[in-house]
A and B are shown apart, each in its own frame.
Chain A
Amino acid sequence: MRVLVCVKRVPAPGAKINITADGQAVDTAYLAFTTSPHEECAVEAAVQLVEAHGGESTVLTLGPAAAEEQLRYAASVGVTGCVLLPIDVADWDPQRTAAALTEAIRTIEATDGTFDLVLFGNESADSGNFQIGVRVAHALGRPMVNGVKGIEIDGDSVRARREAEAGVEVYVLPMPAVLGVKEGINLPRYPTMKGRLNAKKVAVRQLTASGEPGGQQMVTLLQAAEQVSETVILGRGADAASAVVDLMEELGLSK
């Protein structure tokens, strides 16, 4: 089977997210980059599906040229094809991103064949638009379910499991289909030494990103109001237990 995964390069912030002076981006001067954990799990799911059913997996990103790093990381854990849609800003709006990804998928499928499954993350880590996968699926005329924590191939269909408030929901989608994957579906593997070496050599195919700007345009990033609290130190080590239980009683938790 043929599986495509869409991932997005994002900064990996630590204790606080700092913004650049012009308010246009996260200050990444001292940061590493990653993808959303949901997308890491989508990559792992693609690799596992191909291991189980044969075929090939491809990873696709729209982003700055440096996003090649996220493509090569996917290759290091077993994805076989890499496609980059370079843009010269950090990000495009959701409609424009979806249009560009759709166009790229059509281009790849025209020569290489249809993807049985296109996988997205549940949401991107930075902008969290909760829509790009849905838009791409609709443009391609394919069924889409988000928040998926279980994938099983059953002939021409895929059974997708997701956790909701009331319990587990199971969807049965005819393939080709599109799924948004949630962290927890699997435990992503770490790259092996051999994987890392392969990833350095893998060819990254570049396609031109195309798409008109959409109706949502970012103006600026803002810090969320910070909760400031003076931390009360209840004590050190096991001796603090009595003060902790006093607190619990005060909060009405331990009676």
Chain B
Amino acid sequence: MSVLVVVEHDRGTIAPATLEACVAARALGEPVHALTIGVAADGLVDVLAEHGVSLVVRAHHDLLADYGPEAWGETVAHEVRRSSPSAVVATGTDRGNEVMAQAAARLDLPFVANCTEITPGEPWSIQRVRWGGSLLERCTLTAPVKLVTVAHHTHEASPAPASVTTETISPELDASLARTVVAERVERAAGVTLATAPLVVGGGRGVGSADGFGPLEELAAELGGVVGCSRAVTNNGWRNHTDQVGQTGTRIAPDLYIACGISGAIQHWVGAMASKKILAINTDAEANMVTKADYAVIGDLHQVVPAITAEIRRRRTG
């Protein structure tokens, strides 16, 4: 029986997490099939073949021109009923989890989100992410078709070229599902984002005020980085939630994260732990952020941060 990968894409641009899902799917059985949703994704056949997919099922329908959780979920459910795969694997992203939850509800099947390790058997034994990654859970999954998403960054994408065929289907979608298709968009201006920046300067309660972030902005600008913050900061209204790093904010993975006046609560740490190096600046040498960081400066951030910026400028002009 086949294993089906649900391809996440945005109007034809594939989400990198899809290729991680392909790796997980290959370990679960053969053959690996993939479902692309919407005409815009027709061009993804080659990249899927490179990652071990032997059949790409292309779902076409007027309601699939843009993303819609219900229309996408119903399309996955339709394909599961039609081809009876042993398992369906999708991305552990906002969209991937949303689409699988919709499919699971429609199929009346269990769905295990954000798996890190999957061991088939009767039942399946699964390890999955809890608390945004600070805790794991081992669970069992018993179902005629196993629905799972793969936690982002737990499987490294790797090619496994396969010869591929394609098939086009037209799922029956009720016109009412248009109610959750994207109605309007405001495109984001290009530029570094918190999630992709090579350097993040983070500020916590220790920064003290919205104005206190000025020197952090200057340091970040000096190095082409961006400013992030803790929840204490967003809760105080000092910065917008789009800057928040952590379990309920953004996961960052810069080359260097400079955490200023942040204590390092577990919910903040899970958002920062993928950073290659962490430098903590804190008055408290015992703060969790300091003991977990690679490097630390013990001191008042209001003195340390401007001094770093000044030193960078001095070396550049000197």
Contact = CB atoms under 8 A, between A and B. Distances in A.
* Co-assembled chains A and B: yes
Contacts of A143: 70, 179-180
Contacts of B139: 216-219
Interface in B125-183: 125, 127, 129-143, 149, 179-183
Interface stretch (B34-42, B52-60, B99-107): B99-107
Contact of A94 (B110, B140, B184, B293): B110
Interface string A174-195: 1000000011100100000000
B223 A253 contact: yes
A253 B279 contact: no
Contacts, number: 260
Nearest to A220: B138
Nearest to B276: A251
Nearest to B132: A128
Interface residues of B, number: 98
B101 A231 contact: no
Interface of A is mostly: mixed
A201 to B, nearest CB: 28
Nearest to A186: B241
Given A26-B135, A94-B111, A169-B182, A247 B295 contact: yes
B138 A222 contact: yes
A247 B240 CA distance: 30
B61 interface: no
Given A143-B70, A217-B140, A231 B295 contact: yes
Contacts of B296: 231-234
B135 A223 contact: yes
Given A220-B138, A222-B138, A236-B297, A245 B311 contact: yes
Contact of A248 (B112, B135, B312): B312
Given A169-B67, A170-B182, A236-B299, A231 B255 contact: no
Interface of B: 10, 15, 67, 69-70, 73, 94-95, 97-98, 100-102, 104-106, 109-114, 125, 127, 129-143, 149, 179-188, 198-199, 222-223, 231, 234-235, 237, 240-242, 244, 247-249, 255-256, 263-267, 273, 277, 279-280, 285, 288, 290-300, 303-304, 306-308, 310-312, 315
Which 4 residue pairs across A and B have the least CB separation, nearest first?
Answer: A184-B241, A215-B110, A138-B105, A131-B101
